[in-house]
Amino acid sequence: MADRALSKLEEEITCPVCLLYYSEPKVLQCLHVYCKRCLEKLFPADPLTATHPPDVTCPLCRQTSTLTADGVSGLKSAFHIQHLIEIKDILGGAVSATTIEEKGGVSILTCMEHNGQEMTLYCTTCEVPICSHCTVKAGIHCKHEFELIEDIFEREKKVVISALESVEEQLSTVEQTERELAESCERLSHQRASVQSEIHNNLQKSHELLEEKGKELIGFLNHVTEEKLANITKEKESLNISKAKLKSCESIVKNSLETSSQWRLYPGEEQANKSYGRGYTHVKINR
């Protein structure tokens, strides 16, 4: 439980920008806290006019805070954070207040408890950077395990490099897969266009063949129909001739019946025999 409380306390006193314990903590109007130096790096003054920006945007919640003419220095100090650091120091003896200084253009960690002594060691027990004075008998880390920050840096650098190589290898695999997918998409697009063209050509050919076949069938139908119509016309003409002859014979017979009183050969008998190939026809009339 105590370890969990100390861990939570460490979270509260860690700057979300530099990930170190707060140095000169300043609070924005949104109540988020950052190191003064971190805010000055995030929102620097104009190098030409030395004027500060009128407002700043919180990196966490994106809320805007208005600055005074003093810039970041004019923000309220987060005294409660400093009190938390002191409480952590009392409870766990693990916190060494730090600040960042520029020496020769290089940022270095310095220990506020030992007059800005450069922190060249790392307490592995507390997992914080410390200076050499923190390890002496009177120092709060005198009985803790510690290593040179440079050694830890080199060791961690190898771990990071190894992780980076793994990431680069995975990235290479992902990029290769991405290229293959792009090639597959392009290939599928070409295949689709080719198949669409082939389908269109086949449909065009089928349409032409069907149209040609349709013309042949229509021509055949017209020929058969015309032939049948010609035959029917001939039959009608033959029927008309036969009908005319029959009416003529009918008329002759009727006339004979009306004028004759004895056995006689009706006048149209010879003509009828010629037309129909019959023998002589006799009609007997009883008056």
Residue in this structure with the two tokens 């001939």, named with its chain if needed: 234
Q: Are 201 and 209 in contact (CB under 8 A)?
A: no
- pLDDT over 70 (residue 175): yes
pLDDT tens digits, residue range 15-31?
Answer: 999 888 888 899 999 99
pLDDT of residue 92: 52
What domains appear along the chain, each with residue ranges and CATH number?
Answer: 1-95 (3.30.40.10), 249-283 (no CATH)
Q: At what angle do helices 269-276 and 149-259 cross, to 10 degrees?
A: 150
Q: Which of 61, 37, 62, 40 is nearest to 52 (CA)?
A: 40
Question: In angstroms, what CA-CA distances link 207 with 174, 192, 201, 267?
Answer: 48, 22, 10, 71
Average pLDDT value for the chain: 80
pLDDT tens digits, residue range 113-151?
Answer: 777 788 888 888 887 888 888 887 666 777 888 888 888
This prediction's pTM: 0.35
pLDDT of residue 286: 39
- pLDDT over 70 (residue 283): no
pLDDT of residue 265: 46
- Counting Cα atoms < 13 Å in the Cβ hemisphere of 101 gives 12
- Percent of the chain scored above 70 by pLDDT? 80
pLDDT tens digits, residue range 181-228?
Answer: 999 999 999 999 999 999 999 999 999 999 999 999 999 999 999 999
